[in-house]
Amino acid sequence: MRRSVSSPVVHGILVLYTMLALFPIILVIMNSFKAKRAIFNTPLQPPMPWNVDLIGYYKVFSDGALGTYYVNSIVVTTGTIFFTLLFGAMAAWALTEYKFRWNTLLAIFLSLGIMVPIRLGSVSIIQMIAELNLINTLTALILVYVAQNLPLAVFILSEFIEQIPKDLREAGRCDGLSEYNIFFFIILPLLRPAMATVAVFTMIPVWNDLWFPLLLAPTGGKQTITLGVQQFLGQYITDWNAVLAALSMAIIPVLVLYVIFSRQLIRGLTSGAVK
Amino acid sequence: MAEVKIDKLHKSYGAVDVLIDINLTVDDGSFVVLVGPSGCGKSTLLRTVAGLEPISSGEINIDGRNVSELAPAKREIAMVFQSYALYPHMNVENNMAFGLRFAGTPKVEIAERVAEASRILQLDLLLKRRPRELSGGQRQRVAIGRAIVRKPKVFLFDEPLSNLDAALRVNTRIEFAKLHKLLKATILYVTHDQVEAMTLADKIVVMNAGRIEQIGKPMDLYHKPSNLFVARFIGSPAMNIMAATVVEKHRVDFGDGITLPVTLPEGITVGDKIRVGCRPEHCSLSAKGQPFKTLAGQIDIIERLGETGYAHLRLVNGQPIVVEVRGDPPAGDGRNVHVAFSPQHVHLFDNVGQRIA
């Protein structure tokens, strides 16, 4: 067989791309350990004994509020993932397994959400949240993010559910399981790889979002970490040490979550179920 | 164990009738096989008994109780699927115990039942394995184990052997027969393989196009098929069927002036068109023609299976016919021969395919 591109070339391209993608992150982490002067004078230089300065981290850790912001971000992200997966899987299961009157219409309605950017509705979302007295709460953020991520989750999970052999559900029915138990004890465990995919897709934008935290929970100790970092960015003075340190720290939780989910991604879906 | 009684069952998908006027009784402890070509409705019938498909009208009784409207779990049945449908995320033990746990069976009893089933099916050493770590035959046994532990009134099998390779299929078939004896279970079993049906069944139900064509003991179906469909479906190779016209009392014409004496029942008159059937094993070849009892033909090919063989030949009127030959037949392609029928094994059908004698 003719090989049009040799593998060193392919690897070369991949390495180049990886470097390109990682460069800003490495720059942030590298400079977070340096003194302010070194950040500006030699931004590309790795931390050296003569320019190391942990003042940024010192400020981040001594600022009690930042810890709260971390927790806020983690609560919002995990809460969003949890509810998106739960409701997404339930909706996907209902839409694929049960034939009822508005089935197709409902599926179309849900998939519309993939196409319409939720930020277009920001004004009415603020009104709604204000009327619900949920301004400056994490609940507001979780509600909005779940709404934002649900359409894609339903779409992806439906595709996966279609692939689960019908016999398994019927075996469950013969075994005397209620429809809820079939969903929770047969379908959900088999959906794990799909749910990991959805979780990863959901997690990153939510963690990084600045828009809705700014609109819905800008004060009152309910800021997320992305918003919390802004306190170091002033109109005239920016505390770059603190900003870079906080951003470096902010990478860690997503990384941990990603590692957790990515282990599920590679698992086979239903190997061994049939035949 | 229990009796299953299906009464005037009818099922349709919209305008399409898939099961038409099904009346069937599965006696307590008997092994009944539903057999028929694909699309004949046999699996659908099984699924209606299981409660996985709703019925349009009629009644299904299990152990004297009308279960037509009940959920599968309430019918006290256990189903073994063609694909086995093992829960892939549970090991063998949990696969078997899963349903019992939801039924609220005490832990001790679950353990006992699983132990008993795994002893019967020789699964003891596999209890901690996941389905993907098992061979096809082992998965099959787990699927049966899952049915046994439920202690159902009726076992339903949906083509359980069709995913196994040929050698394993023969073994498992024998295992099924033994298992049936051991459990004294009422079994309703679907297959498209007439050999499975013949070897396993106490009673065979032949289905075609949503209807039951005939119900009977395997050898009754073999010896007295009630219509052409059953005659062709039961027995391998299939029965030879020849069109004929009654030319005089007790003599029929196969066309081109070949006539044979045949004992015809009352009510058949000269000029009636009938079908004459004879199984390959009840035909024989003879080199010399005895013009009043044999049909002349030419051998196309001889299939040799070892102990027996099948001569595929063409009669002088163009009709193809298969004849069983015993022992080691001489090479005979293109040879002119005569075919003789054993008269007591001739089947007669009227023009619409119903048996007349």
- Region A134-157: mean pLDDT is 91
B300-322 per-position pLDDT tens digit? 888 888 888 899 988 888 888 99
Give me chain B's average pLDDT, please: 87
Residue B115 reports pLDDT greater than 70:
yes
The pLDDT of residue B235 is 86
Name the residue among B73, B84, B139 with its Cβ closest to that of A176.
B73
> Which residue in this structure is represented by tokens 């005979």?
B332
Angle of helix A122-131 relative to helix A138-163, nearest 10 degrees, comes to 120
Q: Residue A41 corresponds to which tokens in the numbers above? A: 């004078």
Interface contact A171-B85, CB threshold 8 A: yes
pLDDT at B287 over 80: no
CA pair distance B267, B306, nearest whole angstrom? 44
Can you point out the beta strands (E) in A108-240? none
pLDDT at A52: 81
Contact list, A270 vs chain B (CB under 8 Å) = 88
Task: Determine, for residues A171 and B133 on separate chains, whether the beta-carbon distance falls below 8 Å.
Answer: no
- The pLDDT value given to residue A261: 80
Across A64-78, A87-101, B105-119, B248-262, least confident range? B248-262
**Do A167 and B82 lie within an 8 Å CB cutoff?**
yes
pLDDT of residue B10: 92
CA atoms within 13 A on the CB side of A12: 5
| Chain B residues 120-149 within an 8 A CB cutoff of chain A | 130-134, 136, 139, 146
Is residue A268 pLDDT above 70, yes or no? no
Q: Quick check: A271 pLDDT over 50?
A: no
Contact A173 B86 (CB under 8 A): no
Residue A275 has pLDDT above 60, yes or no: no
Is A171 close to B79, i.e. CB distance below 8 A? yes
Residues of B whose CB is below 8 A from A193: none
Contact state of B84 with A173 under an 8 Å Cβ cutoff: no
For chain B, first and last CA: distance in Å? 38
* pLDDT higher at A169 or B292: A169
pLDDT at A1 over 60: no
Q: What is the mean pLDDT of chain A?
A: 85
Per-residue pLDDT of A154-175, as tens digits, reads: 988 998 898 888 889 999 988 8
B14 Cβ under 8 Å from any chain A Cβ: no
pLDDT at residue A274, rounded to an integer: 45
B295 or A91, which is more confident: A91
Whole-angstrom distance, CA of residue B47 vs CA of residue A94:
22
Mutate to test the interface with B, among A163, A175, A191, A195 (most CBs of B within 10 A): A175
CA neighbours closer than 13 Å in the CB half-sphere of residue B9: 32
* pLDDT tens-digit map of B146-190: 999 988 889 999 998 888 888 888 888 888 888 898 888 899 999
B243-281, pLDDT tens digit by residue?
888 888 888 888 777 778 888 888 788 888 888 899 998
What confidence category does residue B229 fall into, taking pLDDT thresholds of 50, 70 and 90? very high
The whole-angstrom separation of Cα B214 and Cα B204 is 8
Given CB atoms, is B49 within the 8 Å cutoff of chain A?
Answer: no
Nearest to B85 among A176, A181, A273 (CB): A273
Q: What is the DSSP string of B316-335?
A: TTS-EEEEEEES-PPP-TT-
* Mean pLDDT on B66-95: 90
Mean pLDDT over B195-222 rounds to 92
Specify the range with the lowest mean pLDDT, choosing from A12-26, A124-138, B139-153, B163-177: B163-177
B222 SS3 class: helix
Confidence of residue B1 (pLDDT cuts 50, 70, 90): low
Element containing residue B318 per DSSP (H, E)? none
A80 CA to chain B: closest CA distance, Å?
26
Per-residue pLDDT band for A266 (boundaries 50, 70, 90) equals low
- How many Cβ contacts (< 8 angstroms) between chains A and B? 82
Q: Max alpha carbon distance in chain A (Å)?
A: 72
Distance from CA of A57 to the nearest CA of B (A): 45
A225 has pLDDT over 50: yes
| Chain A residues interacting with chain B (CB cutoff of 8 angstroms) | 165, 167-168, 170-171, 173-177, 181, 185-186, 189-190, 268, 270-275
Q: Which residues of A touch B51 (CB under 8 A)?
A: 173
Residue B98: closest C-alpha in chain A: A175
Contact residues on chain B for A175, CB-CB shorter than 8 A:
73, 98-99, 102, 146, 150
Q: How confident is the model at residue A217 (pLDDT cuts 50, 70, 90)?
A: confident
CB contact under 8 A, A170 and B102: no
DSSP-derived 3-state class of residue B246: strand
CA distance B160 to B74: 23
Band of residue A5 on the pLDDT scale cut at 50, 70, 90:
low
B70 and chain A in contact, CB less than 8 A: no
> In this predicted structure, what is the pLDDT of residue B292?
52
- Which of B231 and A220 is assigned the larger pLDDT? B231
Report the pLDDT averaged over residues A80-98.
93
Section A59-68 average pLDDT = 80
Q: How far apart are CA A8 and CA A28, in angstroms?
A: 30
Q: B224, exposed or middle or buried, with CB in 10 Å at 0-12, 13-18, 19+?
A: middle
pLDDT value at A273 more than 50: no
Question: pLDDT per residue over A227-240, tens digit each?
Answer: 888 877 777 777 88
Report how far residue A84's alpha carbon sits from residue B224's, in angstroms, rounded to the nearest whole number. Answer: 64
